[in-house]
Structure formats: C-alpha cells, structure tokens
Chains A and B, each alone.
Chain A
Amino acid sequence: MNEKSISQKQLYFMVLQSQIGIGLLALPSNVFGHSKNDGWISVLLAGISIQILILLLWTLLNGFKGKSIFEISVIVFGKYVGKFINILYTVYFLIVMALLAFLFANLLKEWILGYTPFSILLLIILATTIYIGKSNLRVLARFYMLTAGVIIISIVLPWFAFTFNFEWAYLFPIGQSGVGNITMGAHDAIVAMLGFEIIAVVLPFVEGTYKQSLKNVSLANMTVTLMYVYFTIACYLIFSPAEIKIISEPVLYLLKAVSFPWVERLDLIFLSIWIIPMTTSLVTYFYLSSKGAAYTLHKGQRKYTIWYLPLFVFILGLFFSSEFELKQFSKYVAISGYIFSVFIPLLTLLVSIVRKKYNYRSSSV
C-alpha cells in the first residue's frame, strides 16, 4: 500500500467535488419533466436516497476495514467471480467518465466554442483530466480542497439574476404533481448527484475512524443537496413553468439574461468557474476507473491505465454525433448507476454475511 493517506477535511471536499458537477446545469429542467414545480422536493428526496446509499456502502466497507471495494469483492466472491465484478466496476466507472467528458465537451460547444470540433474539445478535456488524475490520492485531495472556493462564487453569482421577475407563486401549490411524480423526479436528480462512490475506493486511506468518515461524507452529501435545492428553487422562481421545460441549461440561462454596464454574459463567467467542479467529477471517475483497471490487470500499478483508458474514451467519443445519442447514452448510464451503487453493494453485503466474511480483518492491517 504505497498510497498516501488523506485527512478527514480532505475527504469532505473530495466527496463534495465529486458529487457536484455538470449535472447541476441541467438539473432544474430535467427534474421538471416529472415533478413540475415540486422539483426541489425531488432534489431533496434524491439527497435523502443518496444518504441511504452512502450508509449501505459504508456498512459494507466498515465490515472490511482497510479494504477497498476491489479487494472486498475478491474476498467475498473468491478470485474469479471477484475479479469479474471488479472488471464490471471498472467498466462502469469508465463509462461514467466517458459520459461526463462527452457532456462537458458538448456543453462547451453549445455555449462558447461553436466552431471548434467536438473531438478537439474532448482531447483538451481528457488531457487536463490526465494531467490532474495521474497524481496520487493526496495530491488530488489537496487540489479538490484548494479549488472548493470557486463553489462559493458560483452560489453568489445567481443573486444578480434575482433582480428581475421573481415570482414566488410559481412554487405553489406545493405538492401539486403528486407523490409518484415527485419520486420519478428524484430519479432524474440522483443521476446528477452520483459521485459518492469515490468512498468505495478512498475510505481505507482516510485518517481517523470509519465513524468520523461517515460523518464527513454525510455532511458533504448534505451540502450538495442543499446547494442543488437552492439552484433549483432559484430557477423555478425566475422561469415560468412552460419556459423551463424548453430550456436545457436553466442555471446558465438565468445568468445569460443579466447584464450590467460593466459586465455582460455572466453565464460565460459562471461557466468558466464551473469548469473546475465539472473537471473534478471527471477526474474522480478517471481515478476510480484507472484504479480498478490497475488492480485487476496490473497488480495495482496505475502507470499504464492512465494512458489507455482516456484513449478509449476519446475513441468512443468519435462515434457520438448528436445530442440525442448522448441523451440515450446517459439514460443507460443512469440505469447502470443503480446496479453498481445499490444492487452489487447490497449483494456483496448479503453474501459476505452469509459466508461469514463480514468484519473481515486481514493480517496486514
């Protein structure tokens, strides 16, 4: 175990920065599809669901102190099945990484760099990801913590948009869309809040007890949920219901409309700030997938994986030619998200209890 450890505070920022990202920009209109103007309740519900998933994952990890998810699956399922599950995990992390990179490049193309080819944008994004993501965990944690300040700026910026057309009536009546729809909306929101899976790999390297870690991870999740609720309500107060349905990135759009004598196009400023949280979630999944590939194929060495995984993403990216294909792709990823953050951890937990492996302690700890 040559990876250096990180502190509790760094853990908080790692989870925070992994969870927030590109999902926020489209969140209010995505959630609106099902839960109408109760979207913010859906987001809240999604935050609670994520908390439950965190508890599930933590319970599993707590039973195997000092082991990451890759090691746990080998212990629980044996060498062959365990390895197979690890490969599945790696593929999942890689697919999420690809999705994030595609969405990121697509967003830049749509909003700023209209004439630049998609592949070039993807190349730049992946190059940055490699540059940051090839460092070890401690460097990553420091970077995540250092750049967390931009999130505060991004929270303040929408205040400028509140100077016009501020309509509380849009939020009422609360609960108009019914429980079923709000739950469906929560499903749309969960996708934007994934990223907590990082604990499955980094938790063994955190200083302090597992209980402290749980507290910080939950705190990070709470911060993300509140932030998302804040942005969702902000958008719902400014755009009328029929309008928000057709705006694909309401968070940017509300800033685009504001102009001052000294600055115009606040959306571009916001976007250039938001590039950091978008990159960090991308780096997180890059780290996870390269870690997984390294564990199953290269005896834990990330030396090679950091090169061929992004290359694979890049080549995959060349096949996507339209927004609709991208939407379809993100639907599949969302479904597999449930498999890998609910089904497999639950299965592993149950099997480990049945096979009496829970509370496993290897001699090396």
Chain B
Amino acid sequence: MKKGMLILIVLNLWLLTGCWDVRLLKDNSLVVGIGLDVEDDDKIMQTAVIRQIKQDSGGTGKPATSNVIYSAAGNTLRETRSYIQKQLGGKYASNKMQVLMLGEELAGEDILPIIDIFYRDPRNSLGAKLVVAEGTAKDLLNMKMSEDVFISEKIYKTLIETEEQTLIPGVTIQSVCPDLFDPGKDFALPYIKAKDSDNFDVAGMALFHDKSFTGTVLEGEDATVLLYLNGEHGESSTLSFNVNPEEEQFQNQFLTTNAFLKDQKLKVKVDKSHNVSVEINVKLNVTVVEYPKDHLFEHEKVLKLNKEISKQLTEKAEKVVEQLQKANCDYFGIGRELMAYHPETWKEIDWPDAFPTIDIKPKIEVEITGTGILK
C-alpha cells in the first residue's frame, strides 16, 4: 500500500514538471540564420532569417515552408532579439541556427562581446557556421532566395562544399572559441561576397588578429595553401599550375591537379637571444586531372614536373605567409607553441609586435602520384 502510494506520487511529479519546460514547435519561430551589423550610432543591427511553415499546404506531401526576414537594432543582442520577437507570430528560437554572419565592419571590432550570448545560453546551437560578409550581413541575407533555394540553407550547403574542397576552414561558433581566448593563436573565418542581387560567392578566408578582422582576405588558391600549411584539409582541392608558359594555346600552358595533404610539420626554433624562426614542411600528393600535353608516361618528365610545381607552390606559400605576417594573424599558433615549449622566450617578447618580424620558411613538396586513366 505504502509503496504504491510512493510510486503514484513520483509518477505524478513527473507529469507535473512537463508543464513548465515544454517548448512546442508550433509556438516557436525557428531562426535558421542570423546576420549582425553595426549601426551608425554603435547599435547592433540583427537580421534574423526565420523559417515559417505555410498553413495552406493542404495536406499534400511536404508542408510548404518560406523564409521571412526581420531586422531590428538595439544596444545588445538580447535587446534586438526582443524587438524581433515583437514582430513575430511565435517565440524566437535560435537553437536550430545554421549560420551566423558578421558584417565586415562589425567583424573589424572586438567580436567577443557580440557573440558572447551564443556561448552563455545552453539552448543555443554551437555548431552554427560563423562567417564574415562583405559589406553588411543584412544586405546579403536580404537576398532571401538564391536560385530558388532559401539563402541561409544555400549558404550553409555552400560552406560545407567549399570546406570539402579545402578552400575555407571548417569553423563553427564553438571551434573558434578556444582561439578567440588564446593570445597565442589567431583564426580565420570564411568570407562571403555578394555577386549580384541574388547570387553570392564564398570568396576565401578573412584573417583575424586577436578578436577582430584585419581586413585581409586570402582568396582562392592562397587560402588552400594556407590551410595545407596549417595541416588542415578537406577531401581534396584543385590546384593548377602554369608549367608551359611558352605554349601557344593558352589552355596548353596549364596542368591541373587534385591535391591531397600527405604530411605537415611545423618546427619552431628559438636561439639564445630569443629570435624565433619557424620551418613549415608540407608534402602533397597530387593526381593530374587535366594536362593536354600528355607526356606523362616518361618518368623523367614527371620528376621534372614535380620539381617545377613544388617550386611554384613554395613561392606561393611564401607570399601567403608574407600576407599573414602583414595582417599579424598568427594562424599557425606559433605563439601557443612558444608558450608551451619555450616559456622563457614567450615571457621575453611582445608577441603581437614580434610576429610580423619573425622568420617563417614554408616549403611545399609535391609528388604526382596518379595521372587518371590517361598517361
């Protein structure tokens, strides 16, 4: 009898608690993308892309969805959220957010105070992609649709695609967090440009120093080279080289390859007077996917090509490193290495001042390992 009573009480308690913490989907407006910008008077402008399910889908197949875009300005992010809430039919729910886009100007400031809220509230999605938009995020998101696909969805998918091609780093709100707080390592975010009124382009990597955007963007192959130098890689990447500049027909001058990262080593050396020098050695395996000149059955020819494209890539890498140092973006985390393995040197030098002047020697070795089904 007594036991039965207890079980009954416990069961009833479980039923009771549900009333407080239920969040019904029908009451929520799912925010799938957020854009943040700075206003003229230093207020924050939030643009929220909200997915709504149309009521009149009539029970046939999938319910029709549409994206609605709201903007509001306020002193803090939470304030803009409540302003948007006022315009909405349901509760603002950002737990399914896929993309968080920062306007260029906003990214140029200290971004931590702005994105703090995403770390603090346990219901936020930390897996959302963090990107920087050329111009303002508001304008970019106001495209609404790009070729019949909703903008936030398309951005999300494009980002994943480009990550696979080793054109941008795979950055989420959470993965950026350790670097954001780390004085010995900087990071880079994908950079998105609007091409025309309903098209955009993932252009490359926006380099950050400490907690703000430096204004430098590495585009195309430069970004790929930087990722390989740091040991990051997607599934593969396309690199092309001008190996026969003397050829008459333009296309004949080029060799196009699929590249895969084989090995990456970063060595930090410190001498007695605390001079830091860094060597980065990268080995790439490539398969030739396009080479109209077709002479790859000769082994010597291949070796010669290996040497040529290694040289070209190393030169490119040197330029990338130069840009990196100019922007003062310690993307390789050399400062962290110093902290960990050379603490005396770290105490001795002022890292933001020292980084642009240190000696970084990148070296990329390429080996052609396949030629496709043609020789």
Contact = CB atoms under 8 A, between A and B. Distances in A.
A176 B174 contact: no
Given A113-B20, A239-B178, A257-B172, A169 B336 contact: yes
Contacts of A124: 10, 13-14, 17
Given A112-B21, A264-B127, A165 B175 contact: yes
Contact of A257 (B127, B180, B333): B127
B125 A116 contact: no
B304 to A, nearest CB: 39
A243 B337 contact: no
A240 B183 CA distance: 10
B182 interface: yes
Contact of A113 (B9, B21, B127, B343): B21
Nearest to A109: B21
Interface in A153-195: 164-165, 167, 169-173, 176
B17 A243 contact: no
A167 B178 contact: yes
Interface in B5-57: 6, 9-10, 13-14, 16-17, 20-21
Nearest to A121: B17
Nearest to B173: A257
A116 B13 contact: no
Contact of B182 (A113, A176, A242): A242
A111 B181 contact: no
B115 interface: no
A115 B181 contact: no
Interface string B106-141: 000000000000000010011100000000000000
- In this complex, which of A240, A243, A264 has the most chain B Cβ atoms within 10 angstroms of its Cβ? A240
A46 B250 CA distance: 70
Contact of B340 (A110, A169, A238, A264): A169
Given A124-B13, A167-B336, A172-B340, A116 B20 contact: yes
Contacts of A257: 126-127, 172, 174-175
B175 A164 contact: yes
Contacts of A171: 340
B305 interface: no
Nearest to A259: B127
A127 B13 contact: yes
A241 interface: yes
A208 interface: no
Interface in A223-267: 238-243, 256-259, 264, 267
Contacts of A130: 6
A171 to B, nearest CB: 8
B181 A243 contact: yes
Contacts of B127: 257-259, 264
A175 B125 CA distance: 36
A130 B337 CA distance: 52
Contacts of A329: none
B178 A114 contact: no
A176 B343 contact: yes
Contacts of B21: 112-116
A7 interface: no
B164 interface: no
B10 A240 contact: no
Interface string B171-196: 01011011111110100000000000
B190 to A, nearest CB: 16
Interface in B141-183: 172, 174-175, 177-183
A110 B10 contact: no
A172 B178 contact: no
Contacts of A165: 175, 178
A127 B21 CA distance: 20
A195 B225 CA distance: 54
A233 B332 CA distance: 22
Contacts of A256: 122, 126, 174
Nearest to A249: B122
Nearest to A254: B174
Interface string A117-141: 1001101100110110000000000
Given A131-B6, A256-B122, A169 B333 contact: yes
B153 to A, nearest CB: 15
B339 interface: yes
A111 B340 CA distance: 34
Contacts of A169: 333, 336-337, 339-341
A110 B122 CA distance: 8
B177 A243 contact: yes
A243 B178 contact: yes
B181 A240 contact: yes
B6 A113 contact: no
B232 to A, nearest CB: 11
Given A165-B175, A259-B125, A115 B337 contact: no
A263 to B, nearest CB: 12
| Most central of B125, B172, B181, B337 by chain A CB within 10 Å | B181
A111 B122 contact: yes
Contacts of B172: 164, 257
Interface string A33-47: 000000000000000
Given A128-B10, A256-B122, A172 B175 contact: no
Interface in B331-356: 333, 336-337, 339-341, 343
Contacts of B180: 243
11 contacts: A117-B20, A120-B13, A124-B17, A165-B175, A167-B336, A173-B343, A239-B177, A241-B182, A243-B182, A256-B126, A259-B127
7 nearest A-B pairs in the assembled complex, by CB-CB distance: A172-B340, A257-B174, A242-B181, A240-B178, A259-B127, A169-B340, A240-B182
Interface of A: 110-117, 120-121, 123-124, 127-128, 130-131, 164-165, 167, 169-173, 176, 238-243, 256-259, 264, 267
Given A243-B182, A267-B122, 12 more contacts: A114-B21, A116-B21, A124-B10, A130-B6, A172-B340, A173-B340, A176-B343, A239-B177, A241-B181, A243-B178, A257-B172, A259-B126
